[in-house]
Amino acid sequence: MSKFDKIFGIPEEISTDIPKVTIVGFDKMLIENYKCILEYQDFFIRIKMATGLININGFNLLMNEMTKDDLIITGIIESVDFEKNELK
């Protein structure tokens, strides 16, 4: 995070590629700063991020809104797990 970002209060996830995951209840998820979608089915979604992978399991999963940086997933979210990139 740069001095400029700190002075103007710009959140770190906006000025870097660090992902931010927000889960609302068990039926909505916002993923910011994702890289690409690796797998998409109505019961499983796998997403690549700069720091690793995120796996979402559930039922009737839909990608409702998608931009090049942000993704909103809705449906019945049963579990979410993260796979962190290994440092070399």
In a domain, 6, yes or no: no
> Per the domain annotation, does 5 fall within a domain?
no
**What CA–CA distance (Å, rounded) separates 79 from 76?**
9
Determine the pLDDT at residue 35. 92
The CATH number of whichever domain residue 51 belongs to comes to: 2.60.40.2000
Better-predicted residue by pLDDT, 88 or 20: 20
Residue 66 lies in a domain: yes
Residue with more model confidence, 33 or 1: 33
Q: What is the pLDDT of residue 6?
A: 58
The pLDDT, as a whole number, for residue 47 is 96
What's the domain range around 73?
17-84
Q: Are 83 and 53 in contact (CB under 8 A)?
A: yes
Q: Is residue 28 part of a domain?
A: yes
Q: In sequence order, which ranges of 1-88 are alpha helices (DSSP H)? A: 3-7, 12-15
Query: What's the domain count of the chain?
Result: 1
The pLDDT tens digits of the residues spanning 15-60 come to 567 889 999 999 999 999 999 999 999 999 999 998 999 999 999 9
